[in-house]
Amino acid sequence: MNKNLKKIVITAGREKSLLRKHPWIFSGSVKSSTGAASGDIVAVVAEDGRFLAYANFSEHSQIVARVLSFVEGDSIDENFFRQRIKAAIERRSQTAQNSDAIRLIHAESDGLPGVIADRYGKVVVLQILTAGIEPQRDLIARLLMEATGAKTVYERSDADVRTLEGLEPRTGLVAGQPLTGEVEIIENGMKIAVDIIAGHKTGFYIDQRVNRALTKSLSGNADVLNCFCYTGTMSVAALAGGAKSVLSIDSSGPALATAKRNVALNIEDVTRAEFWEADVFAALRKLRDMGRSFDLVILDPPKFAPTAHHAEKAARAYKDINLLGLKLLRSGGQLMTFSCSGGISAELFQKIIAGAALDAHVEAHIIQRLSGGSDHPVALNFPESDYLKGLLLRRV
């Protein structure tokens, strides 16, 4: 163990999660720290002096440290980060061969807590989400360019979680060539315009790639309702799959404008596409009152519950939209429903949907459980990385 590193000492009995290789250390489990400050690499030791891990320190966060390595003797230096980035990219060498958009680094699941990196063609979008990894920002950007040959590294460190770390949001060019507008990517033969500068997350929902492909396969000769459609990529997939009609609903006018452009980029007969700028909750009730019905309903709402603290309120919102979505399904129709809320577990999400079906007086079967693609891996020792959960249901 490097004697020059500052140490944090874990209270006796509180080291069990670390022994199970869980990478988070909460402030309440720390007995003492030897002057560690945010951004420091620290040695984590048990109260009896046993080495437990090396971690980066975030003094203002409830998660006060995040493990980089459980291997005693590791040097947490430039080569360490180079090898972690190289390994993460190599693991994705057979992933998303049908797309030039892919997640390269998925934080803790790739041994780089606080780091998200997504590639869109020759552009890499970087998120630095914790105070612990903040000092490594420029190094990580340089190593990403080195490993990928990207022409641009653009930062989108504007996620709400940075406020919990005592950090201000930050966006802008980090390295390489400036962005001059939207980036066009290809996914499963679809052309998609991505607004890296102002779009959600890193500009696009890469995690839904496999579910867009599923949507395409389910949409033949179907009337499709796509709620919270954002830039319309599920709608494009449905139209490309032969849908008779697709109604896309979102509250954002700019997002719908991009959705229309994405449809026009891919579909000759745009008359099959209808767009509503509306609150989805109100729109679902309007569709119910109009007597509309659909063969496939897609519900992919924003994050209703970022933490477990918000779960009760979020559960009511999820139940509401799914109850209405189920009522709008024709007999034999299918509901594709999602939650990206970290505060809602897969088990709780299924219970919510079951309650919605009960109150809607609808019987439905689970056909498939849905999640993100293989470029969003879930580490066995870190179930928190399994944030995207979904169900494909068929109305009986």
DSSP3 helix / strand / coil % (the chain, rounded to 5):
35, 30, 35
Contact (Cβ atoms closer than 8 angstroms) between residue 359 and residue 324 = no
User: Do the beta carbons of residue 80 and residue 74 sit within 8 Å?
Assistant: yes
From the centroid of its chain, how far is CA 31?
33
* Angstrom distance (rounded) from CA 158 to CA 168: 8
Element at 319 (helix H, strand E): helix 311-327
- DSSP letter for each residue of 68-100: EE-STT---SHHHHHHHHHHHHHHTTTS-TTBS
User: CA-to-CA distance for 22 and 193, rounded, in angstroms?
Assistant: 38
**Catalytic annotation, residues:** 340
The amino acid that residue 74 corresponds to is: D
Report the SS3 class of residue 47: coil
